[in-house]
Structure formats: structure tokens, C-alpha cells
Amino acid sequence: MKPATLAFLRQCFYEYFQRGYVIPPPSLDEREWGFIFFDPAYPEIRMCRHMSFGGSRELEDYLRAVVPAHAFHSAAYYARPGAPTMAEKGWTGADLIFDLDADHLMRGPYHLMLARVKEETLKLLDMITGELGFDPRHLQVVFSGGRGYHIHIRDPSVRQWGSQERREMIDYVCGTGIDAKAMLEKKRGETTGWRLRYREALRAYLEWLKSLPLEQAEEHLTTRGTGKKAAAYFRERIEEHLGSLRQGQIGGLLRDRTLRLLLTDENPELLGQIRERGALADEPVTTDTKRLIRMPSSLHGGSGLRVTPLAIRDLGDFDPLIDAVVFGDRGVPVEPSVSLTIQMLGNSYIIEKGKITTVPEALAIFLCCRTMAEIAGGS
């Protein structure tokens, strides 16, 4: 990154922090802090961590003085958060964190990736509040400023959970390790949660299998351990099984030996259908009891967008390319290193590689943070 570009970004971030828009997290004095700065090597990541602050005023003064590109705090609480090693900090608990990143879901235009990951976040919130029973008052939803969302759960009942309990939670929301027998047991009452999702996944899988040409369907079945005669017979019975699923008459499904062979984690086609119905959160983030997470209300040094805390009720209407933009529309000349079409502040912009173009300040910051452009003219 050229010195002029680095200076431009640092000045813009400086002005943001001077305005005092940051919102410190609860118990900030019990958390470890880490920062990445606009140093000459930026955007190479060199994190300064193992820091602590006694209160919000001390934190705010530090942010205004050093102007970080990225600001993080621990999900964990410590007795001595500023100690130089993890062993010395004295872990006392941690928030439960879910991280959803569009990179794990799809590739494509940025605005479409953001729309897709919001769908996944809404799905996860339904599970957390509707199925797992967490009180929305203990939840904070945060747009990461990049390509996804974080959900912080600060319910006191989860604070002491270790990695294993957190792993069970992420396995549930992602649909990992589901017991087919348990999902297909006939029980009284309404079929909800993973029982409903699993049956929908199985129905979609059988519909896919039914749509294959006969030879391909039989080849698929034989690779799952079924003989040719059994595969041909099962292929003929798919519609019968689909009818049972539609009508909720599932008692006899597990008596079919071929179907039992298909209901395993080694069947990638069925597994794909199950995962589509889960919430594809990042497992390592949730299981890590000492994770650093982006500070809500800070800026993301890879986009210039605000790491935006949200009320759950506002997530549906939230548009990051409008609502997380904190910089203005004054013209800034940039020299792009890529060609792309991008949306920002409700408008669409066509950027041509190597062609000096004047764009709104917010877009100039985004492109420079992403190393897609440099400030033109070196001034």
C-alpha cells in the first residue's frame, strides 16, 4: 500500500474515532484486547494483543490516540487480562460466540454475499431463540464490517461452558452428527426442529435420486453398499417412501435395509441436504473459549465499514452497504487495480482497472482497504 493511501485511510479512521461513536462491551476491564495498526507494513497483519483497559474512558482515549485499523476484544473474561501469557491471565468464563461468514457459503458479488449470509444469520437466530430457548435480551447481533455477522450470547448460564459444551451447541445448529433413527422415530405431537428439517432433507435427497436416470441411480446406490438387485428394487420404491414422508407415516422407513445404508454421514448427497437446513456457523470460533472477536462499533480495516451492533428486530431491514457506511460522498480520486461493479450507498459503480476515477469517499475507503485501489496522484 502506497504511503498516500495509508495516510488517507488513517486520517479517515482518525476522524471517526474522534467523533466518539464507539460502544465498549460489557465488563471491558475483564477482557483482553488486541489491535492491528496502520503501520508501514499494512495490510500485513501484525497484531498487538495482551492489552487491558480499566474503563471506557481509558479505552476511548487509546483508540483516539493510536487509531487502529482493526480492534478486537476477547470473548473470555479474565482475572488478569493484560498478563503476557494465556496461562497467567486467569480465565473466569466466556461469552458464547457464533460467527457466520459469506465466504463459507458462496462466491459472487459482494452485495449478494451479504444478502446470503444475512439469511443464514436469521436462520441461526430462529434456532437460538426458538429452539434453544435463549432470551433475546442476552443476545447481541453484530455485522462484522466484512462479510458476515457475529452473535454474542452473554447468558450467565453459558459463561462457564468449556469447549466440549460449545462444540455440542455448534454441532446442533449446523446439523452435525445427527442420528437418523432419532430423527425418524414416530412421536406424538408436532414435528419441529431437526426432526422436521431432517425429514425435509431426506425428502429432497430421495427426489434427487428419483430424478436420476435409472443407471445413474443404481450406480449411486451400489456405491453406498447395496447390491444391484436391491438397488433396482429400492429405485422402484422411492415414490412409496416419498409418499410416507409427505403423509408423516414414517414408521416403516427404517425397516428398509437399503434406506438404512443411505442414512449415514458417508453419503455426501444426503449430508449436503442436511447442511443446507442447518445454520453454517464457523465451528472453531464457537468452540474457542479464548477467542478474540471484533469490537462492535469499531471499524473494519479491510472495508472501512462499521462493525455494527443491531437489535434482532432490525436485522431483516439492515443493509450493510448503506447502514454500516460511516463516511460521506465527497469525491476522492482513486486508481483501481481491478475492474468490478460494486454497490455502495444505494448506487452502483463501474470501476475500471488502471483508470483514475473519482468516487465517493466511502467507496474510496472501501477499495483502498481491500487493496483494490490506491489514492490517485500520491497526494
pLDDT number for residue 151: 97
pLDDT exceeds cutoff 60 at 165: yes
CATH of the domain at 351: 3.40.5
Please give the average per-residue pLDDT across 11-25, as a whole number.
93
3-state secondary structure of 298: coil
Say if CB 69 and CB 12 are below 8 A apart.
no
pLDDT number for residue 244: 85
Secondary structure (H, E, C), 299-347 = ECCCCCCECEEECHHHHHHCCHHHHCCCCCCCEEEEEECCCEEEEECCE
135 is catalytic: no
Please give the average per-residue pLDDT across 327-355, as a whole number.
92
pLDDT tens per residue across span 30-50: 999 999 999 888 888 789 999
Reported confidence tier of residue 128, pLDDT bands at 50, 70, 90: very high
| CB-based contacts of 351, cutoff 8 Å, min separation 6 | 336, 338, 339, 340, 341, 342, 357, 359, 367, 372, 373
Same domain, 193 and 263: yes
Burial grade of 18 (CB within 10 A; 0-12, 13-18, 19 or more): exposed
Please give the average per-residue pLDDT across 80-108, as a whole number.
93
pLDDT number for residue 378: 55
Centroid of chain to Cα 290: 18
* Residue of 95, 101, 288, 317 marked active site: 101
Averaged pLDDT score across all residues of the chain: 91
Segments forming the whole domain that contains residue 198 = 180-277
Same domain, 352 and 305: no
Please give the average per-residue pLDDT across 59-73, as a whole number.
96
Q: Contacts for 169-173 with beta carbons within 8 Å, 24 or more apart? A: 169/96, 169/132, 169/286, 170/98, 170/281, 170/283, 170/286, 170/287, 172/127, 172/132, 173/98, 173/124, 173/127, 173/128, 173/278, 173/279, 173/281
Same domain, 32 and 64: yes
Domain count, the chain: 3
Same domain, 118 and 187: no
179 is catalytic: no
* Residue of 95, 155, 171, 282 marked active site: 282
- Decide which of 215 and 303 is more confident: 303
Reported confidence tier of residue 190, pLDDT bands at 50, 70, 90: low
95 is catalytic: no
* Residue of 61, 99, 103, 314 marked active site: 99
Same domain, 273 and 286: no
pLDDT number for residue 95: 97
Same domain, 218 and 287: no
Reported confidence tier of residue 379, pLDDT bands at 50, 70, 90: very low
- Decide which of 82 and 40 is more confident: 82
pLDDT number for residue 260: 87
